[in-house]
Structure 1
Amino acid sequence: MTDAPATREAPWPVALLSGKLKEYLDRLGTVWVEGELTQWGVSGGNVYGKLKDLEADATISITMWSSVRARLSEQFTQGDHVIALVKPSWWVKGGSLSMQVFDLKHVGLGDLLERLERLRAQLAAEGLFDAGRKRRLPFLPGVVGLVTGRDSDAERDVVRNARLRWPSVEFRVAYAAVQGDRSAPEVVAAIRRLDADPEVEVIIVARGGGDFQNLLGFSDERVVRAAAAASTPIVSAIGHEADRPLLDEVADLRASTPTDAAKRVVPDVAEELVRVEQARARLGMRLASMLTREIDRVGHLRARPALADSGWIVDRRAEDLTRWVARGTELVERCIERQTARVGELRGHLRGLSPQATLDRGYAIVQGADGQVIRRAVDAPAATILRIALAEGAIRARSDGAE
């Protein structure tokens, strides 16, 4: 080992640099870290794996010697949420850095519940759980979106039970991991993809139950916010009664199991036909009852004395009718007499003013050939042809000139 600085003329050997790195890292102490086991392999009693941050995209390699593993009281597997006591370890020969694990524990249930409660309170304060945000599911969806694991029992339960109830229902399935570190981003992507499909009328997010830690992906804030932002109604069918993931709170409908989701989303064709028949029967009974009631009312009206013998209406009014007819005849006759006298008077006045009355008294009317009345002698010189109108008839004459 040397403390001389490395230069271009006197570079350090690789072994020297690697050794110095090991010396430096060995002086560092241990630290507790939290993450998810994304890789867990045992070789020769030693464990080699990877620990991933739960939120950020960061991963470290870990190594646990068999002596440390033998002291652990818990069993671990890939996907577990853990806290680890680690110390940096540099492998000189291979030139790689790993974290040597001195202790490993599952994250306590109390810690997880506390975090979930804080997130639950935050989302509730934002109004994402309000009942007013819940949307009604369509009565008969033509296309149902389904977010679930590939080849899962949840998918078979939903599809089978839905088609038993309504054979013509169509499904659009978006597969996603339903546990582990890939669960939240894949479920979010599946919800958004189905929500963007204009033919999908409702989306079911289904998983066939599981323990508390396996369901953590459905309490992830990203999943909850994606469901709240979706314009298509969301049905949560995680299938776990004891633990309710946050997706249940924000969904428009919570189903206890995937089978229950199929029954809640798709109506039973047989039940609907029975309801239609029942409605038709009730309508027929109501109509028959209404007609019977109206027939009885008409019968009661016809049985009343006023309608049973209608002749009294005519008999009671016959005298009044006769009197008014006579009165009308008298008034018409008086009117005719008055108007007849008036016409006679007018005829007398008209005759008195008529030229015919003058002619009847012996006068005559002399007209020229053009029909003009001759009033002066000069208007009828000699040889003028004249027409003389008399009381009865007319004669032609010729003028001999003025006298």
Structure 2
Amino acid sequence: MSSTAGNDSSPESPWSLQRLSESLEVYINRLGSVWIEAEITQWGSSGGHVYGRVKDPEEDVTVDITIWRTTRERIPEGVGQGDRVLLKVKPNWYVRGGKLSMNVLDLRLAGLGELLAKIEALRVALTAEGLFDPERKKVPPFLPQSVGLVTAKDSDAEKDVLHNATARWPEVQFQVEHASVQGDRAVPEIIAALDRLEASGVDVIVIARGGGDFQHLLPFSDERLLRRVAALDIPVISAIGHEADKPLLDDVADVRASTPTDAAKRVVPDVAEERRRINEARSRLTLRLQGIIDGETERLEMMRQRPVVATPSTVVDRHAEDVLRLVQRGVDVTDTLLTLQHSRLESLRASVRALSPQATLDRGYAIVQLASGELVSSPQSVKAGDALRLRVKDGEIAAEVTDS
């Protein structure tokens, strides 16, 4: 206490015990909350609350602790007597009982620094391998036919995903695989659930948990689970729902959702929103098409008002004389060509006649042939007694060789 407080009391004017106890309460309340490291020596539950006692690991100092139900629901399961823990406590002085106790606001198992270091080392190693590269991220389908969900049975996360996804797209189909999401069984059960979903051929997988403290989220930074997720050809959405202690699953997954509700929004589109977009697009398209139609209608009307369109006969009349002149020219050229070709044909005919054997026969010559039809061109080709045919201008004469 301060010297001022001491001056308020004297043997003639002593404080009451209540005043002293109330003064202690004021001073203790000013301290606020602090983190301490201690070992649990007593641990008991009643009505959902925890009443216990902790001691200093190095000194012979003990103090009572109280963990109210709302805080108890947030601390790791399995904590009990003998555990070394980190406690965020607020000292509380009971005025009437003159007793000091500690209200626990948060509790973590000691040794978290080592766990954090291991997780950070794993993060560095997997980053070097490229498991977190944006280039390897797969894009979930716009409208999946089947959605796989891995979560705890009857959990709020399961209800949130199913309710919100169905509200957005009533036809969505889910295949739910339940698994532990904390503790030693979580990793093997989640991996087994992923194996079943992969075999069933779902289009996208959501891994969901409704938050939790650091220890509860450790399975989602387990190397076995991370490598299994990275090996999947199916897009994976991580919905662990914890901003402060983000697990490594958020980095290896193809999409990170802040909460299970956010995952539902990412896995399927909102049917009402899509209808609104379609209606807006239809309206814009209608306006655009109407504008095009109006513009083309105006252009056609302007063309109709041109003289060439209004009275098309003027164009025909203008070119009729040219057409007739060209037709006559074509006729004249054709006649000239026909005359030239006829003269050429007659000349060729005369040449052919002059060169033909018939012209020679017309001049009194004869063609001599044996009975076999072989031409006789020399006296040596025949002998006495051979029958001959003499072809003359207008017929044939039979003859016989009497002397060769």
Counterparts of 1:278-317 in structure 2, within 5 Å, are 279=281, 282-283=284-285, 286-287=288-289, 289-311=291-313, 313-317=315-319
Aligned match of 2:149: 146
CA shift digits 1:6-30 (9 cap, x unpaired): xxxxxxxxxxxxxxxxxxxxxxxxx
User: C-alpha deviations, 1:121-172, integer Å up to 9, x for none?
Assistant: 8726853666555442232333333333333232233233333433441223
In structure 2, the residue matched to 1:190 is: 189
Q: 1:262–1:186: structure 2 CA closer, same or farther, 3 Å change rule?
A: farther
Change (3 A) 1:275 1:169: farther
Residue 173 of structure 1 and its aligned partner are, at CA, apart by 1.7
Per the alignment, do residues 371 and 282 of structure 1 end up closer, same or farther by CA in structure 2, a change over 3 Å counting? same
Where 1:136 maps in the other structure, the secondary structure is coil
Q: Would you say 1:267 and 2:266 are equivalent positions?
A: no
Alignment partner, residue 140 of structure 2: 137
Structure 1 residues 202, 230: closer, same or farther in 2, change over 3 A?
Answer: farther
Q: Distance in 2 between matches of 1:36 and 1:186?
A: 27
* Contiguous gaps of at least 5 residues in structure 1: 1-33, 43-48, 50-62, 86-104
* Superimposed CA distance per residue, residues 192-243 of structure 1 (whole angstroms, 9 cap, x where no aligned partner): 2233332243333333345x456443674548845763534343334456x3
Specify the alignment match of 2:34 in structure 1.
none
Of the three residues 164, 167, 170, the one matched with 1:166 is 170
Query: Is the partner of 2:207 in helix, strand or coil?
Result: strand
State the secondary structure of the residue aligned to 2:144.
coil
Distance (Å, rounded) in 2 between the aligned partners of 1:121 and 1:239 = 23
Matches within 5 A, 1:2-401: 71-75=62-66, 79-80=78-79, 83=84, 112=112, 116=116, 119=119, 123=123, 127=127, 131-132=134-135, 134-164=137-167, 165-178=169-182, 182=183, 185-196=184-195, 197-198=197-198, 199-210=201-212, 212=213, 215-217=216-218, 220-222=221-223, 225=226, 229=230, 231=232, 232-240=234-242, 243-247=244-248, 249-250=250-251, 251-273=253-275, 275-276=277-278, 279=281, 282-283=284-285, 286-287=288-289, 289-311=291-313, 313-372=315-374, 379=382, 381=384, 386-394=388-396, 396-399=397-400, 401=402
Q: TM-score, normalised by structure 1?
A: 0.58
Whole-angstrom CA distance in 2 between matches of 1:195 and 1:162: 20
- Structure 2 unaligned blocks of 5 or more: 1-36, 46-51, 87-103
The separation in 2 between residues aligned to 1:73 and 1:186, in whole angstroms, is 33
Q: Is the contact between residue 149 and residue 206 of structure 2 (CA under 8 Å) also seen in structure 1?
A: yes
Equivalent residue letter for 2:156 = D
Aligned mates of 2:85, 2:357 — CA distance in 1:
145
Maintained 8 Å contact 1:158/1:262: yes
Report SS of the residue matched to 1:147. Answer: strand
* Distance (Å, rounded) in 2 between the aligned partners of 1:377 and 1:118: 129
Q: Please give the secondary structure, in 2, of the residue aligned with 1:176.
A: coil
Shift, 1:176, TM fit: 0.3
In 2, the alpha carbon distance for the partners of 1:191 and 1:249 equals 15
Cα distance in 2 between the residues matched to 1:151 and 1:119: 30
Relative to structure 1, the CA distance from residue 342 to residue 209 in structure 2 (aligned partners, 3 Å threshold; closer, same or farther) is closer
The size of the alignment, in residue pairs, is: 320
**Deviation at residue 80 of structure 1 after TM alignment:** 3.7
With structure 2 as the length reference, what TM-score do the two structures score?
Answer: 0.58
- How many angstroms apart in 2 are the aligned matches of 1:36 and 1:234? 41
CA distance in 2, matches of 1:220, 1:299: 73
Distance 1:345 1:300 in 2: 64
Identity of aligned residues (%): 40
Which SS does the other structure have where 2:64 is aligned?
coil
